[in-house]
């Protein structure tokens, strides 16, 4: 006999664990299946030689949906916010970043006319009603905002910083919405994002959620009108009244099979947001004042996160990230990209190799499962009714947000929909 569950959650990343915590305590039997060794997904933190490495640079929006949801779940988060400012690199020259009022006045990147125009662009950014941008690409919005090449480049640079999206054809509504949230500040988390994952995991388990790692779902079959059959790795079979899938769209498509209602052209076009990450720990910084830099001419980011968060067992160590944002059409040479990132790090921290404790290079990591594009909103609203009893959550499933914002908010929403469905069924049977 197949083991029966009320809810099976597929995936133990941020979305799955948030959902598990909201579902717990509602008299439901809940099983969370995670294919990896431990929960966390792309929010996990790896400890290498006493250094805490997130999977590339991670920041939590201080005024974002994810922070609000984590606070609601009583997750304790410690860390500090990086200072605004830093360096903008253009054509191999360094300029003061115009991200603060003082920076706007002092930077030599912009002439006086551009400084006034940039200040107006930032004001427009913060006051724009993003609902009015639903039919615009980010490129169209940027070109409407300014005709100055410098200011357009700065807006694209900020867009990459806020969303990791190096694609002007992406949705203006999503990019500008995330930009507005980022401008309210971000938090670098002490000991990495694993501290958030561990708390979510432990609270879920204490509340009765069963978590099984090293397991994946091979197939999802509908048995009857109110149950699913799931075939797991090892050909174990279980059944569920509800399924909450937090994997990517292509994994879900594979689990459901070619004949499912999910097999539709719009989902086949979903493109992930990807980048290359070079995570580095040094015994000391050759240039202690250079903590943040972005290139205006190349899609590259550099930031020392350990100045604001504890990311090493040795308080004297420095942990930093160099990141290259990939465009979906890029043809990538991993060795060439690594050299590019090392050269940018050398520019910011000359002679860094002499102080290296450890480093890790990941040439192509998925940052978000969906590059947000025009038309996604309608597509994703329709996806909520793919198969009755099957719910989806994850960074790609929210029509309104991506990254941790999309993951946490969709996890909460899916859990609430399952709880409401169960309550309405109970009322109908009374």
Domain definitions of the chain by residue range: 3-37+213-270+372-429, 97-182
Q: List helix spans (H) across 188-315.
A: 194-206, 249-256, 265-268
Average pLDDT, the chain: 93
Homologous superfamily in CATH for domain 3-37+213-270+372-429:
FAD/NAD(P)-binding domain (3.50.50.60)
**Per-residue pLDDT at 396 exceeds 90:** yes
> In this structure, what token pair is assigned to residue 399?
């029509």
The answer to whether residue 300 scores a pLDDT higher than 80 is yes
Q: Are 305 and 319 in contact (CB under 8 A)?
A: yes
* 249-277 residue pLDDT tens: 888 888 888 655 555 556 767 999 999 99
Distances, alpha carbon 173 to alpha carbons 148, 249, 267, 400, in Å: 22, 22, 20, 8
> What's the confidence (pLDDT) of residue 253?
83
CB 23 within 8 A of CB 419: yes
Name the band, by pLDDT with cuts 50, 70 and 90, for residue 430.
very low
Two tokens, residue 270: 């979903």
Judge whether 76 and 252 are in contact, CB under 8 Å.
no
Own/partner contacts of 94-99, CB < 8 Å, gap of 24 or more, are 94/293, 97/292, 97/294, 98/154
Q: What is the pLDDT of residues 214-235, one digit of tens each?
A: 999 999 987 666 789 999 998 9
pLDDT at residue 429 tops 70? no
pLDDT, one tens digit per residue, over 164-220 is: 999 999 999 999 999 999 999 999 999 999 999 999 999 999 999 999 999 999 999
Q: What is the pLDDT of residues 348-394, one digit of tens each?
A: 999 999 999 999 999 999 999 999 999 888 888 766 556 889 999 99
What does the alpha-carbon distance between residue 123 and residue 135 come to, in Å, rounded to a whole number?
Answer: 21
Distance CA 257, CA 158 (A): 40
What's the distance, CA 118 to chain centroid? 28
User: Residue 300 corresponds to which tokens in the numbers above?
Assistant: 């590259």
At what angle are helices 14-23 and 194-206 packed, to 10 degrees?
30
What single DSSP character describes residue 133?
A: G
Residue 312, Cβ neighbours under 10 Å: how many? 20
pTM: 0.94
Mean pLDDT score, 103-114: 96
CA distance 19 to 411: 5
d(CA 324, CA 342): 11
> What is the β-pairing status of strands 292-295 and 300-304?
antiparallel
Tokens at 154, concatenated: 């700065």
pLDDT confidence of residue 224: 65
Residue 16 tokens read as 């799955």
> What's CA 355's distance to the chain center, in Å?
30
Q: Is the pLDDT of residue 425 over 80?
A: no
- Under the banding of pLDDT at 50, 70 and 90, the label for residue 239 is very high
Nearest to 11 by CA among 209, 246, 363, 272: 246
């Amino acid at each position: 006999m197949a083991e029966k569950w009320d809810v099976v959650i597929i995936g133990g990343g941020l979305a799955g664990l948030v959902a598990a915590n909201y579902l717990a305590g509602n008299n439901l039997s809940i099983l969370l299946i995670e294919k990896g060794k431990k929960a966390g997904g792309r929010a996990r933190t790896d400890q290498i030689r006493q250094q805490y490495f997130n999977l590339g640079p991670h920041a939590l929006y201080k005024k974002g949906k994810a922070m609000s949801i984590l606070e609601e779940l009583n997750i304790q988060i410690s860390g500090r916010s990086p200072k605004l400012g830093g360096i903008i690199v253009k054509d191999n020259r360094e300029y003061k970043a115009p991200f603060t009022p003082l920076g706007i006045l002092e930077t030599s990147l912009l002439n006086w006319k551009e400084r006034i125009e940039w200040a107006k662009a930032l004001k427009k950014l913060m006051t724009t009603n993003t609902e009015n941008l639903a039919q615009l690409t980010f490129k169209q919005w940027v070109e409407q905002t300014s005709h100055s090449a410098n200011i357009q480049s700065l807006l694209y640079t900020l867009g990459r910083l806020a969303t990791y999206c190096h694609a002007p054809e992406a949705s203006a509504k999503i990019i500008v919405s995330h930009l507005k949230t980022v401008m309210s500040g971000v938090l670098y988390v002490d000991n990495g994002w694993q501290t958030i994952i561990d708390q979510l995991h432990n609270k879920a388990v204490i509340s009765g959620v069963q978590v099984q790692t090293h397991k994946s779902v091979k197939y999802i079959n509908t048995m009857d009108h109110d149950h699913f059959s799931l075939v797991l790795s090892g050909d174990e079979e279980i059944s569920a009244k509800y399924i909450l899938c937090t994997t990517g769209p292509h994994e879900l498509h594979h689990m459901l099979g070619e004949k499912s209602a999910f097999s539709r052209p719009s989902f086949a076009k979903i493109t992930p947001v990807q980048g290359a990450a070079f995570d580095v720990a040094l015994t000391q910084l050759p240039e202690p004042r250079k903590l943040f830099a972005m290139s205006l001419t190349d899609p590259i980011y550099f930031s020392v996160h350990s100045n604001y968060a504890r990311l090493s067992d040795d308080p004297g160590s420095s942990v930093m990230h160099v990141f290259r944002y990939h465009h979906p059409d890029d043809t990538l040479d991993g060795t060439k990209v690594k050299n590019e990132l090392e050269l940018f790090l050398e520019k910011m921290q000359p002679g860094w190799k002499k102080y290296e404790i450890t480093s890790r290079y990941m040439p192509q990591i998925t940052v978000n499962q969906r590059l947000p594009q025009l038309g996604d909103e309608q597509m994703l609203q329709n996806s909520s009714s793919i198969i009755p009893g099957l719910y989806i959550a994850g960074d790609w499933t929210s029509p309104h947000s991506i990254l941790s914002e999309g993951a946490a908010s969709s996890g909460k929403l899916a859990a609430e929909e399952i709880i409401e469905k169960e309550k309405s069924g109970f009322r109908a049977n009374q």
